[in-house]
Chains A and B, each alone.
Chain A
C-alpha cells in the first residue's frame, strides 16, 4: 500500500448561527476525516467558528469562463443602477404621510 496522497480541501466557516459561510482557506489532507480534523484546528480551535464546511477542491464546480462571466458587450442595462428609486420613494412617502427617515448615525 502506498502512502495516501494529499489533496487540497476548501474550508468555509460560519462565525455565528445564521451568518454566511465564508471561505476561510484550505488544508491539505489525504481524506475527509483528516481534512475535518485539520480544518477544526486551523479554523475552529480558538472558538472562532460555529460551523465548518469542508469540501474536496476536486468536487468544487469551477467556473471562470470569461465568455460567461465577463462578456464583451455593454451589460449596464442589467444593473439595478438603471432604475432611479429616489422619486418613487418620495412619492410613496408623500402618499402615506411619512417623513423621510434621518441618516443612520455612525
Chain B
C-alpha cells in the first residue's frame, strides 16, 4: 500500500494514543525505582518501565516520520491536555497492589490491541508491533504472576488488590476508547477490528483469570468517548516530573 492511500490523520491518532499509553505507564512504573518491595523486583520493575519507554520511543518515531515532527518534541513538549493516553493510566502510582492491578489490566488490553495490529496493512507499524509483542508477552507474565500472588497472599494483600481493581475497574476499558475516524483504519486494513470489538475480546480473555482468583471483573466503561481526555491532577503532576530535565534548559543537546 502506498502512503498516499493511508488514512494519515486516523493513523496519527492511533500512534499517538499507543505511544502516550506506553510513555505514561513507563514513567509511572519508573517511580518504583529504589523503593520496590525487594531488590530483585526493583530491578525487574525498573526494567519493565524502561521497556515501555523504549516502546514509546519507537512509536513516537513512527509518528514523527508520518507527521515530520521530532519524536522528543512529541514526547515532552506538549501541554498535558494534548496527551492521548487512556484514563486507566491517570490514577497515580499508588501502592504495589495498585501498580500490579493497573499493569494487569493495561498489559492484557495492550496485548489484544497489538494482536489486532500485527497483521495490519501498514508495514512499518505491523513490523514494530511484531517486536513489541515479544516483549509484552513477558510483561503480561510478570503482571499475571503478581496478580496471582497478591490475590492469594493473605488478607492485607488481597484486600489491597481488590480495592485497586475496584478503583481502576471503571476506567480499565478506556484502552479501547474509539479513535477519531477509526473506521478508516479498519477499512484500510491497518487495524483488525473496531475498538468496541477488541474490548469484548479483552473481557473474554481476562475473565477466566479474574474469576479463578475470585477477583472483580471491570464494570462497563463510563463516558466511552472521553476515555483519552480530561487528564486529572495525578497526570499533571507526572507531566511536571517527566519533562523536568527537558524544561530545565530548552533545546539543549546531550
Task: List residues of chain A with CB under 8 Å of any chain B CB.
Answer: 1-4, 6, 27-29, 33-34, 37-38, 40-42, 45
Please tell me the number of chain B residues within 8 Å of chain A, measured between CB atoms.
15
Q: Which chain B residues (132-147) contact chain A, with CB distance < 8 Å?
A: 138, 141-142, 145
In the bound complex, what is the Cα–Cα distance between A94 and B138 (angstroms)? 61
Of residues B38, B40, B138, which shows the largest number of chain A Cβ atoms within 10 Å of its Cβ? B40
Closest to A29 in B: B40
Q: Does the CB pair B154–A42 fall under 8 Å?
A: no
Q: Does the CB pair A38–B154 fall under 8 Å?
A: no
Which of B41-49, B72-80, B180-188 is found at the contact surface with chain A? B41-49
On chain B, the residues within 8 Å of A1 by CB distance are: 152-154
B252 at interface, CB cutoff 8 A: no
Q: Does the CB pair A28–B153 fall under 8 Å?
A: no
Partner among B40, B141, B149, B153 whose Cβ is within 8 Å of the Cβ of A41: B40
On chain B, the residues within 8 Å of A42 by CB distance are: 40, 43
In the bound complex, what is the Cα–Cα distance between A50 and B141 (angstroms)? 19
Task: List residues of chain B with CB under 8 Å of any chain A CB.
Answer: 38-41, 43-44, 47, 138, 141-142, 145, 149, 152-154
Closest to A1 in B: B154
Given A33-B145, A37-B141, A37-B142, A3:B40 Cβ within 8 A? no
How many pairs of A and B residues are in contact by the CB < 8 Å rule?
Answer: 34
In the bound complex, what is the Cα–Cα distance between A29 and B153 (angstroms)? 15
Closest to A9 in B: B40
In the bound complex, what is the Cα–Cα distance between A104 and B153 (angstroms)? 61
Q: Does the CB pair A28–B39 fall under 8 Å?
A: yes
In the bound complex, what is the Cα–Cα distance between A3 and B155 (angstroms)? 11
Q: Does the CB pair A38–B44 fall under 8 Å?
A: yes
Given A28-B40, A38-B43, A41-B44, A3:B138 Cβ within 8 A? no
In the bound complex, what is the Cα–Cα distance between A40 and B40 (angstroms)? 10
Chain A interface main SS type: mixed
- CB of B157, distance to nearest CB on chain A (Å): 8
- CB of A52, distance to nearest CB on chain B (Å): 13
Q: Besides the contacts A28-B40, A34-B149, A37-B44, what 16 more A-B pairs have beta carbons closer than 8 Å?
A: A1-B153, A3-B153, A3-B154, A4-B149, A4-B153, A6-B38, A29-B40, A33-B145, A37-B145, A38-B43, A38-B44, A41-B43, A41-B44, A41-B47, A42-B40, A42-B43
In the bound complex, what is the Cα–Cα distance between A41 and B152 (angstroms)? 24
Q: Does the CB pair A45–B47 fall under 8 Å?
A: yes
- CB of A53, distance to nearest CB on chain B (Å): 17
For this complex, 24 residue pairs linking A to B, each with C-beta atoms less than 8 Å apart, are A1-B152, A1-B153, A1-B154, A2-B154, A3-B153, A3-B154, A4-B149, A4-B153, A6-B38, A28-B40, A29-B40, A33-B145, A34-B40, A34-B145, A37-B142, A37-B145, A38-B41, A38-B43, A38-B44, A41-B40, A41-B43, A41-B47, A42-B43, A45-B47
In the bound complex, what is the Cα–Cα distance between A33 and B41 (angstroms)? 13
Q: Does the CB pair A27–B40 fall under 8 Å?
A: yes
